[in-house]
Structure 1
Amino acid sequence: MLRLCIAGILFILICGCSNEDEVVKSTNIGSFHHIESFSSDYVESRPVDIWLPHGYEKNTDQHYPVMYLHDGQFMFDQPTSPFNKGVLMKFYKLYAKLRYGTGFFWDIDKIVSQLIENGKIQPVILASVWNLPDTKRRTEYMPQKMITEEIASSFLHKESDIRRDEITSDKYLSFLVKELKPYVDQNYRTKPDQKNTFIMGSSMGGMISAYAISEYPEIFGGAACLSTHWPLGGNSVTSWYENHWPSAGDHKIYFDRGTVGYDSTYEPGQAHMDSIMEKNGFMRDDDWKSLVFEGEDHLASSWRKRLHIPLEFLLNPDN
């Protein structure tokens, strides 16, 4: 999480922003559309990346499910990435590559393309939403309705610099559901129904993904929550879901965690969430998964390594 914040700060300090949209195409791994500033009535404008699978331009009768992604600047290693602009940022990218193996990026376009080619998943459109830097990211991703003033004063202020009156996750979800999704459905050949609309993120991106499917179960048919940062907010977050969780049979939910770094603190919260899944009638390995990856840290390199698992679970071609 700290690394994401540092990257966001460096991005603001160093990278200039263009007002023009850019399109970067690759015949091997699909088409990449970069929107530099997606305006909103709910949240601050920010870049959004749309990735289309290989064959989208030719298969004009085919429509596709859509997966919405958080922390979007870390999804694709493209020229539009902040880590590919400026000497210092390129050095920072190289340093991360040498230290962490795969660096900052999930390389989700490469992974999805390989899974599609191997028949492991349905062809899918990816809508990748960039985060805002530092505290603003956390205020957009922190689930809002369960944080009462009492909880905020007793726990949240002690563990984080987030203030209750600054949390904007409800507005962020309104942006996704009421502005971005209609734009994607209007401009691309999507399958707009609930069973073909998914959301995924890691860390606090996992928190907001779980919150999204609980708040908009009629919109999202599946959610992948990697290394969900349950400790932030204490038991208030998971306890709230006891009475605010989508129905079993209509949704697919994926959770996981590692055992190193931040992930080493996630077991109690995830265990509570797993019990909620069982009480709500979800069947493990059928419409719900909760996995533990021994020795894996809170890093993009760890998430990239196992990314195929939630993708295959949610986008199974036999569904």
Structure 2
Amino acid sequence: MKINRNLFYFIVLIPLAFIVGVRGDTPDSAVYYRLFKTVDFYDLTSYTGYYEQTGVELGWGLFSKIVSLFTQSDVILFSLFSLIIFFIIYKTSRLLNINYLHVMAFYLPTGYFFMQQFMQIRQALAVSLAVYASLLLLSNKKITSLILFATAILFHQISFAFSIVALLYYFLIKKIDISASLFKFRLLNLLILILGFIFIRVFLKGYMVNSFDRLESYSETVEYGGEVGFLSLSNLKGYLLFLFFLFFTDKGLLHNKLYVFLIYMFTVGLTLRLGFYDFAIVSGRLSNVFLYTEVFILPIILMARLSRGLYYASMLLYFIFIAYITWFFQASEHLSSSYLRVLS
């Protein structure tokens, strides 16, 4: 029986989910495991009720309940959750007609893997679901996409922002051709970045802090409400990728409507990161929902613009360089000691 190449790669990489699953007491893991073990004590019939009781969206409670019917193992719990995330990435790769193994080469060395899968697991699932749902929407699979948007929000409300922007984009492109020419494409992305930054600084930041109690409490702490430097490593990476995407996109790539959408979402993400530069948790977590698109953009643009040999060389160098930066400047302080610490 002939097996699809991407499916083969997905099966081969399944052990990665087990590596995620056997993590020890990494940040937030104890909270998720406690909610899993005590799932029967919470209200699973109400989104707001469960959130008020736990501070976590209902999706985690429902997932925990289903898994608890078969096992109480934390390894199975986290491995299965990770496997679902990898499966969504696999499905997204197939929809975009990209080699899944190549996408993983741009995903695994980043914080989207190290920080989200080992710590911010609800966000990892919600982000991947929201991106996949938006691409399905643009592929005219409306019902499936709306179900997945709802599922993403069920696991993390931060995906609501991406869902709204994706829906606005979907209706906007019916009225305006936003990829008619390279000049128009580049100009619109630059305008989003500049005008979006001004809008966030003048209106959006104050409104969000005053409207959401949890954000207001975050804004008063040094860890979550602190400032993110304009020249931080994450921002420098964002600037370089933005310029690379903008000026290396050619007319041929503009015909790929899914690629164009991903570029615009990346630009929105960079705008959010810069606009909330003095509110660390929003600058990081909200922007990452949109910036996550880079793991799909990179293999598309590099494959289109480089020779085969140079493409593979670039992919390898990117993997090594970003893995080094992510581990030593972002992830190691959270994972190096806690990964092997017993989770209880």
TM class by shorter-chain length? under 0.3
Whose helix fraction is larger, Structure 1's or Structure 2's? 2
Structure number with the bigger relative contact order (C-alpha 8 A, sep ≥ 6) is 2
Larger radius of gyration: 2
Query: What TM-score results when the alignment is normalised by the length of structure 1?
Result: 0.27
